[in-house]
Amino acid sequence: MKNNNYNLKKGILCIFIATIAFSTIEIVAKTIHGIDPLQMNFIRFFIGGIFLLPFALKELHKRKLKLTLNDFLFFALTGIIGVTISMCFFQTAVVFTKASIVAVIFSTNPIFTAPLAFLLLKEKLNVSKILSLAVSIIGVLLIFNPFSINPDLKGMLFALISAICFSLYTVISKKRIAKYGGLILSTFSFLIGVTVLLLFLLLIGKPIVSGISLTNILPLLYLGIFASGIGYLSYFTAMKYTSAITASTVFFIKPALASILSFFILGEHLSFIAIIGIGLIIVASVIMLAPKKVDQASI
């Protein structure tokens, strides 16, 4: 019993650390100037991948896994979708709209995982999943505010594309998560994803390290080491000591916490209709994470 309580406490501590890490990504990124968003994404995940690598190698040894070409091709697929595509849209979204809006829209990614898992993995869709998806879509529409001309529309669309791509990354990862574990999968996906991104940056003539200065080096290190490296390590450790559902409460807390931090740190104000939209997304997350006691219907 003592052991279970100790593990639960460690799990809760890891959820707390992961929540802080993930809720501050958009805010810190917003404070960095002189760095192209694609370049920032490369730096962030390169540092994060290098930070996680020793832990991943230790986990490989523990699982007695020998990676093959097929494994690396799978990491390439998840890395391109999750890092090269999804996170580039995410980082670019921060440039065009408020950090709080990006945080909220991106946090809808667990909601989109359900229909994608239904289509690609043939997982059943129950009523609560469909309801949470519907409520979340209404919340996103309210944030987009289709009844007004919104100058942030481009950033919102990029954030939504990022969330959907991240959901696809999650669904594809489910196919082999039992084999690798989240830590190994994320580490090699990060490193291969940033390698592909590096080639793309070189191809289009984007900067790689130029622009890094004394004023932005600390925020960049924060994004790489804490927000990505320690954040993901804490998230997967939380899964180990609690459960995947409990650990995913990170994405339930993130919209509210990121919005509060954005208000106090960046001075971002949200419209009343956007606040209602955020509230609906939080409700949708609660529906998605709540224990399924009554709902047994599926399609």
- In a domain? residue 299: no
Those residues with Cβ within 8 angstroms of residue 193's Cβ, 6 or more apart along the chain or in another chain: 45, 78, 79, 80, 82, 83, 84, 87
Q: Which residue has the higher pLDDT, 299 or 164?
A: 164
Those residues with Cβ within 8 angstroms of residue 82's Cβ, 6 or more apart along the chain or in another chain: 165, 166, 169, 173, 189, 193
**Number of structural domains the chain divides into:** 1
pLDDT above 90 covers what percent of the chain? 40
- In a domain? residue 251: yes
- In a domain? residue 10: yes
pLDDT digits (tens, 9 = 90+) for 150-167: 667 888 899 999 999 988
Is the model's pLDDT at 239 over the cut of 80? no
Is the model's pLDDT at 204 over the cut of 90? yes
Q: Grade residue 1 by pLDDT with cuts at 50, 70 and 90.
A: low
Residue 295 — φ and ψ, nearest 5°? -80, 110
- In a domain? residue 261: yes
- In a domain? residue 283: yes
The number of beta carbons lying within 10 Å of the beta carbon of residue 111 is: 25
Domain that holds residue 79: 2-289
Task: Check if the beta carbon of residue 162 is closer than 8 Å to that of residue 87.
Answer: yes
Q: How far are the Cα atoms of 129, 194, 259, 291 from residue 284, in angstroms, in the given order?
A: 9, 32, 17, 13
pLDDT digits (tens, 9 = 90+) for 3-43: 667 777 888 898 889 989 999 999 999 999 889 999 999 99
pLDDT digits (tens, 9 = 90+) for 33-68: 889 999 999 999 999 999 999 999 999 999 999 999
Is the model's pLDDT at 288 over the cut of 70? no
- In a domain? residue 84: yes
Q: Which two tokens stand for residue 221?
A: 């290190």
The dihedral built from the CA positions of residue 222, 228, 229 and 231, taken in this order, carries a sign that is positive
Task: State mean pLDDT over 97-126.
Answer: 79
- In a domain? residue 15: yes
- In a domain? residue 270: yes
What is the rounded CA–CA span in Å between residue 219 and residue 46?
A: 14
Task: Check if the beta carbon of residue 184 is closer than 8 Å to that of residue 60.
Answer: yes
